[in-house]
Amino acid sequence: MIKEWATVVSWHNGNALVECDVKASCSSCASRASCGSRVLNKLGPQITHTIAVPSAEPLVVGQKVELGIAESSLLGSAVLVYMSPLLGLFVMGAVFQTLFSQDLAALCGAVLGGVGGFLLARGLSPKLATRSEWQPIILSVGLPPDLVRVDDASAESRP
């Protein structure tokens, strides 16, 4: 199970709208001070995604929830998105090369196969996204923001 924390944006009739921050690089790496990926990610825009997730218990705006999604569904969607255009590119390139014995024909076949694989993935992804095992679920719920209180111990000891 892949887990990520999200912030509740709204809750209505058993559906929570949550916002997840996209993390492009790891911040816990030992070499983060000299990491080129970290520097490049700071230059780019900070992106957030909004997701609708079913929630039986009422949630408050600003509340943190932990979302989880099955690893198999994430891997399946990655295979669909990346492998179908690649497979189409190689198969159709080989078929056109065999049929016409010219490099230009193989190039045209590869382009057609890649576009066809992309269109196949685009057509199948909405159907697969409706499957319940491909949906994120709420694993745990944090305290509402109005219930969290931080006491400053040093302020109490001052005269």
- What does the pLDDT read at residue 55? 86
Look at residues 89, 82, 85 and name the one whose alpha carbon lies nearest to residue 108: 89
Contact call for residues 74 and 2 (beta carbons, < 8 A):
yes
Residue 143's pLDDT band, with cuts at 50, 70 and 90, is confident
Which residues fall within 8 angstroms of residue 121, CB to CB, at 6 or more apart? Answer: 80, 81, 84, 85
Checking if the pLDDT of 144 tops 90, the result is no
Q: Look at residue 21 and give its three-state secondary structure.
A: strand
d(CA 118, CA 70): 24
Checking if the pLDDT of 110 tops 70, the result is yes
d(CA 48, CA 21): 5
User: What are 81's two structure tokens?
Assistant: 């998105």
The C-alpha angle 120, 79, 132, rounded to 5 degrees, equals 85
Checking if the pLDDT of 107 tops 70, the result is yes
Checking if the pLDDT of 104 tops 60, the result is yes
Contact call for residues 80 and 17 (beta carbons, < 8 A):
no
d(CA 138, CA 5): 10
**Percentage of the residues of the chain whose pLDDT score is greater than 90:** 31
- What does the pLDDT read at residue 133? 80
What are the pLDDT digits (tens) for 26-55? Answer: 555 666 566 666 666 666 666 778 888 988
Report the range of poorest mean pLDDT among 3-7, 16-20, 68-72, 141-145.
Answer: 141-145
Contact call for residues 16 and 10 (beta carbons, < 8 A):
yes
Contact call for residues 112 and 98 (beta carbons, < 8 A):
no
